[in-house]
Amino acid sequence: MSTFMRTDPSVHTLTRQSGYWRDLDWILLIAAVATTIFGSMLVWSASRADMASDSDPQSYLKRHVINIVIGVVLGWIASRLDHRWLRAYTPIIYGVSMFLLVLPFVPGLGTTIAGARAWIDLPGGLTIQPSEFAKVAVILMMAVLLSEKRDAESEPRDKDVLLSLGVALFPILIILVQNDTGTVLILGSVALSIIAVSGARTRWVVGLIGGAVVGIMVAIQVGLLKEYQVQRLTSFINPTADVSSSAYNANQARIAIGGGGWSGYGLFEGPQTQGKFVPVNESDFIFTVVGEELGFIGSVVLLGLLAIVLWRAVMIAFRADDMYGRLVATGIVAWLAFQMFENVGMALGIMPITGIPLPLVSAGGTSMMATWIAIGLLQNIRLHAVRAGV
């Protein structure tokens, strides 16, 4: 049946025209919108202290809202793209994305923020972070490679697995050089999840997990060495600074969240948040704002909203009418889930501190746009499946 639908463009077009709004995953959409609004409130609370002396204390919030609007428009476009079109252009999307990823290395274009050289300067003071778009590109490219030239019942050929692995490894290596370990972990999880769900032979999955464990151990070793070198370096420059900033950040974040208790101090009332004790609390440490100001209840509400988004994404992956759709949805699930876990876990003191934002919540234009594109792609896959009658 699906074959018939896809080969009959007139029927296809008709269904698409009449059913778009009806067939959307409204639960996913509402949860994503609610999370975004919740996040804006937290960004407003976190940035108002910084912007208090500014001429316009809401300038940060305004920029955040503009980013959301752009993100939602991009997501809407992503939800309406034809699969054939999308698959055909995926190599180009991937190529452009990888090109952007290399761009920050071009002198004069890149900006170093928080030690990671991963931003491109645009006129007008805007910066974009290509690694956010790279996540989308890697998911799309891997899904194309692992769903081509076979029916959904057979397992992907080793050649395709290797090729898709290469597709993921290229940006991983670049981002590793850019010192953005958080994104590397997320991309690794995404690649592993897509390969696993693609039905690749078990030895691939086991081998990759084993490789990842070894890789992480090596990274920790390398990371420790680096930390040691960094401390040596900074103590040489400033012997009195005996406080490592990471330890300080982790400690302040824990104090903020823990201090929130059951119901928190109330929005705009958190002493740690408003006193600027927690650094980058509008982005990397945004969870400290909800933790301190809205307490355990607020934390659970936010995690609950994110859980609904993930639940709907998992359901879309299950109900996808073809392997391509399933793999895209799987990649998005892995991406959002691991990024959320890393970000919130870091604030809660159970994950190492890396500079990554909380999807749909943190300030940061590129992340917001990329996440909304992901929401759009999920809707796209769902619409495709509904039309296919799955």
Q: Please state, in angstroms and rounded to a whole number, the distance separating the CA atoms of residues 106 and 123.
A: 16
The answer to whether the beta carbons of residues 305 and 34 sit under 8 Å apart is yes
CA distance 312 to 29: 9
Main-chain phi, psi angles of 227, to 5 degrees: -55, -45
Dmax (CA) of the chain: 74
Judge whether 60 and 43 are in contact, CB under 8 Å: yes
Q: Closer to another protein at the Cβ: 44 or 277?
A: 277
Q: Is residue 221 at the binding interface for another protein, with CB under 8 A as the rule?
A: no
Is there binding between residue 163 and another protein (CB under 8 A)?
no
Tokens at 80, concatenated: 């309406």
Which residue, 203, 191, 205, is CA-closest to 163?
A: 191
Closest CA to 193 of 182, 204, 180: 204
Residue choice 71, 75, 104, 260 for contact with another protein (CB under 8 A): 260
Q: Which residue from 93, 114, 169, 255 is in contact with another protein, where contact means CB under 8 A?
A: 255
The least distance separating another protein from the CB of residue 284, rounded to whole angstroms, comes to 15
Residue among 81, 132, 45 nearest 378 (CA)? 81
Min separation Cβ 260 and another protein, Å: 5
The contact pattern for another protein, residues 315-334, with x = CB under 8 A and - = no contact, is: --xx-x--x--x---x--xx
What minimum distance in Å lies between the beta carbon of 170 and another protein?
Answer: 24
- Restricted to residues 103-162, the positions that interact with another protein (CB under 8 A) are 152-155
- Asked if residue 308 binds another protein (CB under 8 A), the reply is no
Whole-number minimum distance, CB 341 to another protein, in Å? Answer: 4
243 binds another protein (CB under 8 A): yes
Which residues fall within 8 angstroms of residue 100, CB to CB, at 6 or more apart?
A: 120, 128, 130, 133, 134
Count of residues of this chain found to bind another protein when the rule CB under 8 A is applied: 61
Options 36, 45, 164, 193; binder of another protein; rule CB under 8 A: 193
Kindly calculate the radius of gyration of the chain based on its CA atoms and give it in whole angstroms: 22
Task: Provide the residue type at 99 as one letter.
Answer: F
Q: Can you give the binding site for another protein, defined by CB under 8 A? A: 152-155, 193, 196-199, 205, 239-240, 242-243, 245, 248-249, 251-252, 254-262, 271-272, 275-277, 291-292, 295-296, 299-300, 303, 306-307, 310, 314, 317-318, 320, 323, 326, 330, 333-334, 337-338, 340-341, 344-345, 348-350
